[in-house]
Amino acid sequence: MSKIFNTAANCIPQKHYMVDLTGRLEQIKVMVDRGDYFTINRARQYGKTTTLMALAEYLKKDYLVVSLDFQELDESDWQSVADFVSAFAEEVLAALQATGQIPDEPLSRIREFAVGTARKMNLKSLFLAIGECCVRSPKPIVLMIDEADAAAEYEVFLDFLAQLRARYIKREQNPTFHSVILAGVHDIKSLKRKFVEPGEHSTNSPWIARDGNEENASLLAFDDCPRDQMELAPFDITSDYLIDMSFSADDIAGMLREYEKDYETGMDVQTIAQTIYDYTSGYPFLVSRICKILDERIQGTESFPDRTAAWTKDGVIQAVGIILAEKNTLFDSLIDKVNRYPDLRECLYAILMKGSDMSYSPDIETIDVAQMYGFVKIVNSKVVIANRIFETRLYNFFLLSEEGKNTDIYQLGLREKYQFIREDGLNMKLILERFVAGFDDLYGDQPQKFKEDDGRRYFLLFLRPIINGEGNYYIESRTRNMERTDIIIDFKAKQYVIELKLWHGNAYNERGEQQLIDYLEYYHLKKGYMLSFNFNKKKQPGVNEIHLGDKLLVEAVV
């Protein structure tokens, strides 16, 4: 049976096209060899489970691996210490028995906890029994727990972490796991415990609503609890996990070469890999999703009749458009977080819609949360949206969830969209002409401050219904600021570059023209577009064409 691209659950090398993880596994093994205790915190669908399963296989020559998944435990397993001790012992027992390398005598001790017949059903006693297995094991034992943060709302979880930490610290005197690896989305190191009076409700979730209503939750943990009544969960022993789990263009190319051996499409592997990387920044789910759509949905269509036609830059752009229009668990999770946490929403809105230049600070919790959930990344100490696909999805969300489809300028674009669409692409000059006229009619009498803040957002609202369904756009992140923004539109296998900027005189405009020409060179285009928002009362609104060298610039002034 042929391999496929997989976007559901973990990837299996024998069944799925995969990026080669060997280099990453080698780096992780160095940490395991040192006996490190560390956490792997990455956003949803970032390949954590696939990495852990591959790591378990990679380590088995030198270690016995106890690999658990806390998501598999029932809610009842967390209701008391005794319940958890029994459930955890059962999982550890099954993992150790499967190795066939632990004598039955120490295993029988753990079995007593699993069936609930141990004299003391507490964590300390269980860890002593596990320690006996570690002594009798022919190889060091490594503990790996996937979805470790799935239990963050339960008090017994923090008790477990405290006992695990205590045993690890004293491992030279009291044998225990050689190395501990905890994986999850949330940063387990930041969990806090609230001191409460007997009978008072206690929680250890890092997300607490100010008013107790989850729908109104704030990013600030425990706002309803004085800081002197909280303590951090005991995680000062963890080693830094600095291994990059995103895919590079070369990683993607390696996976595509494996596919190419099977199908001989004739694709330019390095170009396609780089194009996929440009849109995804190596986010594992998005990389695999593009490839899966190209293989299963794009090829065989009218525009892309076979694999050779599909595995092109135009095919990748078509796949990106499909992803941007679909519902999936990753986007559902991201948008849920935006809706649920006002501080996170405000942060992302400022970066995207206002062009705010946000510097990274480890003390700003909102930024840490945005990074934890995969919304942003840190580049040269600046906070930027993680990838083009997230950026465009969030742009569309903010555009259509604020005034959205009821906005006059959006309705204008919707009514007139078909006159802008030609067989070979977009009549971009006409789009600019109608926007200039429409914006002046609708908002010409508004205060200047309104037009400075909202002009570019309104252009995107005008553009959105025109390209919807047949194209997509993204913002060139290097130029997103209050003065200038470059929009790249993908439509019917063509690209259009539009520079949006505030007018600051002829000299500034000439610099903008040169910058646009540089972008046209980069995208191998002969024609580019400029839209200037000029608030000088003596301005001459309209659209003109100018030739600079071999480039044609269409310049519009609002």
In the chain, which residues have pLDDT < 50? 193-234, 479-482
> Which residues make beta-bridge pairs with 555?
530, 544
Give the burial class of 338: count Cβ atoms within 10 A of its Cβ; 0-12 exposed, 13-18 middle, 19 or more buried: buried
397-426 pLDDT, tens digit each: 988 875 577 788 899 999 999 999 998 899
Are 248 and 277 in contact by the 8 Å Cβ rule? The answer is yes
**C-alpha distances out from residue 27 to 21, 135, 207, 240, Å:** 10, 27, 32, 12
Q: For residue 345, how many C-alpha atoms fall within 13 Å in the half-sphere facing its CB?
A: 15
Quickly count: other Cβ atoms within 10 Å of residue 34's Cβ.
12
pLDDT at 451: 52
What's the rounded Cα separation, in Å, for the pair 184 and 169? 22
What's the rounded Cα separation, in Å, for the pair 19 and 10? 13
Q: Which residue has the tokens 């200038």?
A: 484
171-180 pLDDT, tens digit each: 989 999 999 9
Tokens of 427: 């009549």
For the chain, the residue count is 558
Q: For residue 29, how many C-alpha atoms fall within 13 Å in the half-sphere facing its CB?
A: 16
Are 518 and 536 in contact by the 8 Å Cβ rule? The answer is no
Which residues make Cβ contacts (< 8 Å) with residue 296, sequence separation at least 6? Answer: 4, 5
Closest listed residue to residue 68, CA positions, set 56, 83, 85, 59: 56
Closest listed residue to residue 458, CA positions, set 410, 423, 387: 410
Beta strands per DSSP E along 32-185: 37-41, 64-69, 141-146, 179-184
Tokens of 543: 């659209």
Q: Which is it for the CA torsion 96, 153, 245, 189, positive or negative?
A: negative
CA dihedral 544, 546, 550, 552 (to 10 degrees): -10
pLDDT at 449: 56
CA dihedral 539, 541, 544, 547 (to 10 degrees): 30
> Which residues make beta-bridge pairs with 181?
38, 144
Dihedrals φ, ψ of 85, to 5°?
A: -55, -45
Q: Give, to the nearest 10 degrees, the angle between helix 284-293 and helix 249-263.
A: 30
> Which residues make beta-bridge pairs with 472?
490
Are 498 and 529 in contact by the 8 Å Cβ rule? The answer is yes
Tokens of 359: 């510097």
pLDDT at 205: 39
Classified as helix, coil or strand, 238 is: coil
